[in-house]
A and B are shown apart, each in its own frame.
Chain A
Amino acid sequence: MIPAQFEYSRPAGVQEAVRALAEGGEDAKVLAGGQSLIPMLRMRLAVPSLVVDLGGVVEMRGVRDDGDALVIGAMTTHDQVLRDPLVHEHAPLVVQATSTVADRQVRHMGTFGGSLAHADAAGDLPSVAVALDATFDIEGPGGRRTVPAGEFFVDYLTSAVSPDEVLVSVRVPKLTGWGTHYEKFNRVAQAWALVGVAAAVRRSGQTIEDARVALTSMGPTPVRARGVEEALIGAPATAEVVNAAADRAGEGTEPSSDVSASGEYRLHLARVLTGRAVAAAGGL
């Protein structure tokens, strides 16, 4: 199928993009890598009057070191993230999760920011951003604002980025001294997660000092597994503690039932995968 007709603009800068969106009105749509939007255009699930292609906005590409955090430009492709030495050094969880996203071709086009702005419940990077306490820099007609990960994911396919705004970059705190792991369960021919678990654990000797766990595909938005974290923090780093904590992975989730898995099966997966993710992150 071919998309319905639209006007096309290719701004060279962030402000120019925001102006184009304002002029385009409410039916204007941002195009990043197009790996989610173009399928929707083809199916005519999206019928924008104007497409604002961010492909020419050079300032939105690349990764920079900002002291205690990395700033990842929204237009940095998955492939560029996987090749970036700073991300490897300071955010290995992002590398690990990104390497499971889709396939080589999609990773060559799809972007870090696009995956987050798209806010797919089965997307791998949203739960990683939540586990890492990332913050989002968004620019709109009123200027720049910053949104924490906990407020960024609003509902199914809905992020805090409004239609007249552009997600410019994402600040990912460096987790020095933490172990991290992304555990994902998917069908072989489809990369989308049935359930995914992003875990970060900081140990001091045999004690778990701090832990962060977030779940993919366990509700309309990524879920921070606070019950699991509570059971881990301050406890001895043993398999028993991890297993008991993982049993609480279902708290606060609303897993859906679909052709791929029932909600009940997703709950089972969440517990098993949380145990594995936390054990791997904690070096157990």
Chain B
Amino acid sequence: MSRINLTVDGVRYDDDVDPRTLLVHHLRERLGKVGTVVGCDTTNCGACTVLMDGQGVKSCTVLAAQADGRTIDTIEGLAGEDGTLHPVQQAFHERHALQCGYCTPGMIMAAVDLLSENPDPTEDEVREGLEGNLCRCTGYQNIVGAVRDAAATMRAEVPAPRESTTETVEGTAPTTTGEVAR
């Protein structure tokens, strides 16, 4: 067992994990963050994308132990506490940037990662920036449109730093979910 501490969506968690545990399984099965999904076995699809210290990573290809001491942001922490959607979520909603929705959590997190580095990407830059995320439904057109819309919204907003009130959760109990992709 390895002792790890993670700050996930603003909350600190201390847990003992089997070293072979993948970050995505830790998030889903131990912390109950089932918004992050697994779509492939080959590190290709990006559905499992989360931010680690602000950078997009494929959580199916990170050991939970590798993430010790880091800050993780998942799709579940993106909306405001009052339920206000993040501009990228809002734009995906308005532009119909999803059909089945399976790729969406990863697409949105990858888009947030991209926009944090490039606040005004061209269409080509969006397509290239999201090359690690596959969508089997939409044909990408509306996804690209949504990301550019969100970029415009975010540029217009006065940047307000998000408050982080970190509470600590000791030895979180495993949640039982039968739907975990293995």
Q: Are A8 and B2 in contact (CB under 8 A)?
A: yes
Residues of B within 8 A of A258 (CB): none
The CA of A31 and the CA of B66, in the complex, are separated in Å by 10
A53-B65 contact, Cβ under 8 Å, with A2-B22, A6-B19, A42-B41? yes
Contact of B43 among A3, A6, A7, A35 (CB under 8 A): A35
Q: Is the CB of A104 within 8 A of B2?
A: no
B97 at interface, CB cutoff 8 A: no
Asked if residues A102 and B61 are in contact (CB atoms below 8 Å), the reply is no
State whether B20 touches A4 (Cβ < 8 A).
Answer: yes
Given A34-B62, A42-B41, check contact A2 B132 (CB 8 Å). no
Is B94 on the interface with A (CB-CB < 8 A)?
A: no
Kindly identify which residue among A34, A104, A106, A189 contacts B66, using a CB–CB cutoff of 8 Å.
A34
Asked if A191 contacts B131 (CB within 8 A), the reply is yes
**A34-72 contact mask (Cβ, 8 Å, vs B): 1 or 0:** 110011011100000001010100000000000000000
Q: How far is the CA of A103 from the CA of B43 in the complex (A)?
A: 10
Task: Provide the residues of chain A in CB contact with B63, threshold 8 Å.
Answer: 8, 31, 34, 38, 51, 53
Given A6-B19, A8-B2, CB of A1 within 8 Å of CB of B65: no
Question: What sequence of 0s and 1s flags, for each residue 1-29 of chain A, a beta carbon within 8 Å of any chain B beta carbon?
Answer: 11111111010000000000000000000
- Report the interface size class on chain A: 20 to 34
Q: Is the CB of B110 within 8 A of A105?
A: yes
- Verify B113–A43 contact, CB threshold 8 A: no
CB of B57 within 8 A of CB of A43, answer no
- The answer to whether B61 touches A35, judged by C-beta atoms less than 8 angstroms apart, is yes
Instruction: Tell me, in angstroms, the Cα distance from A106 to B52 when the chains sit together.
Output: 12
Q: Is B58 an interface residue (CB 8 A)?
A: yes
Name the B residues within 8 Å of A8 (CB-CB). Answer: 2, 19, 63, 65
Cα A8 to Cα B67 in complex, Å, equals 13
Contact B110 A104 (CB under 8 A): yes
Q: Find chain B residues with CB under 8 A from A3 CB.
A: 20, 22
Residues of B within 8 A of A4 (CB): 20
Asked if A164 is an interface residue, CB under 8 A from chain B, the answer is no
| Count of interface residues, chain B, beta-carbon cutoff 8 Å | 34
B47-60 interface mask toward A, CB cutoff 8 Å, 1 = contact, 0 = none? 00100100111101
Partner of A108 from B19, B25, B55 at Cβ < 8 Å? B55
A34, A43, A108, A190: most-surrounded residue (chain B CB, <10 A): A108
Q: A35-B43, A39-B42, A191-B131 are in contact. Are A105 and B58 (CB under 8 A)?
A: yes
Interface residues of A in 122-139 (CB under 8 A from B): none
> Does B144 have its Cβ within 8 Å of any Cβ on chain A?
no
Q: Given A1, A5, A102, A103, which contacts B18 in the complex, CB threshold below 8 Å? A: A5
A10 to B41 CA separation, bound complex (whole angstroms): 26
Q: Contact check, A104 vs B43: say whether CB atoms are below 8 A apart.
A: no
CB distance from A251 to the nearest CB of B (A): 34
A165 at the interface (CB under 8 A from B): no
Which of A1, A42, A105, A189 has a CB less than 8 Å from the CB of B57? A105
Q: Is A79 an interface residue (CB 8 A)?
A: yes
Q: A39 and B61: CB pair below 8 A?
A: yes
16 contacting pairs across A/B (C-beta < 8 A) = A1-B182, A2-B22, A2-B25, A8-B63, A10-B68, A31-B66, A38-B62, A39-B43, A43-B41, A103-B132, A105-B110, A106-B58, A106-B61, A108-B55, A189-B134, A190-B44
